[in-house]
Structure 1
């Protein structure tokens, strides 16, 4: 097995060859230079099949994800082949349709969260938030459950996050209620 190490020179780093096969790193380096091999470069990646065809139509990021190779290798290939990265065509801005803010839609502002209303109306959250602020309507605040003596009796016995999950509220709300009870 000690003789098989020379097959791996150039395919992996000299340090890795010496570690795996128990050969000195200088021996590996001398052998590589004697054979006229260049040092191993992990960035030297074979060009995958189909990459050259997509080079002119896809971004380096898209190609890196698709072919599972570093984007820097694709950039080097683009420079070598004088192929610039294509400009991506993004969809143009589409303004809100007239009539989206009906009496019913405006009446719903502040009665539910902005993301929930945006989903219901089929518009972005930004449009809902902007309209709500424009009309001076306060943001929706979900009602918190009352901390009953039964819930308060679990303070210190059950973690705040477990109580919060059970009640459908945040652990920080439980923590604040627990601290208020301790102060009182």
Structure 2
């Protein structure tokens, strides 16, 4: 997250290097700033916007085509290995109406998995699912996210939307991970170890409680807690 001074005085060198490498909207979302600010910085430096990525049309087998409209585009996309948009393109081109889920099917799923998972499975917007669940007085289910080393490596490379689709979670969760706030599987919730921030090094916290040092560095910086170096014995262990 950029500071007010950085927003006023211009981007840091590491941010300036990213201008034009990603769409303005995507870079703005990563940095937590307005898209117009990214556009201003880029155009001031006469950096062209990146070319629009083209999406190759999906090629489906006759058996796959036969399932279009009978199940949601999202469900078929995950099964066939395409994006939702690619499946929607094929279905629309063939004049097949979209799948309309049975209400009883959705009612049976409410509260058993996350609203996002229900929406993705049935092809319904998450806010619609959330409203129906709240109207019925059903509490939400929040799954812990299984954040793998592969996903961590993709964090600086993919947009929030692309990572969310790959991880099977919401964009908000990805944004929280970037800030070090998301509770992940096999990781101690930050609220339980706030008192250790600054008393242990970020590296030692990561080793003991899961995640990466960046998770604890971000949490510490937001609270204005100074950094603490690794214990001498921990440094010695890491050299061995």
TM-score (norm 1): 0.37
What TM-score, normalized to structure 2? 0.30
Which has the greater radius of gyration?
A: 1
